[in-house]
């Protein structure tokens, strides 16, 4: 004997799932927009440095730059750059972006990367303080000359 009472129809069930999925997608999109800062959402959109910030950049010293390599769990080689930055100025540095330029044996730039050794997630660098940071690279051109890159500070925030 067949029962005509099946509970919720298939159409109503599909419609309910679609509505719930739509609400979740909209919630995720709105959450991402409110939590991401303009600087994080578009990496090239940092404000132009002020004259004071430009004048302070030479007071940051980068030393002990060394390259190393290790194999990751997938068997790929990852190259690491370890550097020490020292704040030789009188201000607390809260954010720092540096440009790393790798060159080949003819001194031509083969890779240009931007690193962020000081961010909102790291403690600020106080006057006279030194701190090491590490940048990892999964893909470096084969014609790289195996030397540490040129490190140039390009943005600073107090």
For each of the chain's 158 residues, which pLDDT tens digit applies? 455 555 678 888 888 898 998 888 888 887 776 654 444 444 456 778 889 999 999 999 999 999 999 888 888 888 999 999 999 999 999 999 999 999 999 999 999 999 999 998 999 999 999 999 999 998 888 899 999 999 999 999 99
First to last CA, the chain: 79
Reading phi first (left if > 0) and then psi (alpha if -120 to 50, else beta), residue 7 is in: left
Look at residue 15 in the predicted model and tell me its pLDDT.
87
Look at residue 44 in the predicted model and tell me its pLDDT.
55
pTM: 0.65
Residue 131 exposure: Cα atoms within 13 Å on the Cβ side: 16
Say if CB 127 and CB 92 are below 8 A apart: yes
Tell me the pLDDT tens digit for each residue of 127-136.
999 999 999 9
């Amino acid at each position: 004997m067949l029962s005509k009472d099946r509970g919720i129809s298939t159409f109503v069930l599909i419609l309910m799932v679609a509505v719930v999925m739509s609400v979740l997608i909209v919630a995720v999109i709105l959450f991402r927009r409110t939590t991401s800062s303009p600087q994080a959402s578009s990496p090239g959109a940092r404000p132009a440095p002020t004259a004071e910030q430009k004048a302070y950049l030479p007071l940051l010293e980068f030393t002990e730059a060394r390259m190393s390599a290790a194999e990751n769990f997938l068997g790929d080689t990852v190259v690491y750059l370890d550097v020490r930055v020292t704040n030789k100025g009188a201000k607390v540095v809260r954010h720092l972006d540096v440009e790393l330029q790798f060159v080949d044996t003819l001194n031509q730039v083969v890779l240009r990367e931007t690193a962020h050794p000081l961010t909102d997630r790291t403690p600020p660098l106080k006057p006279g303080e030194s701190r090491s940071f590490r940048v990892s690279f999964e893909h470096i051109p084969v014609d790289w000359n195996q030397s540490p890159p040129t490190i140039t500070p390009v943005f600073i925030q107090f």
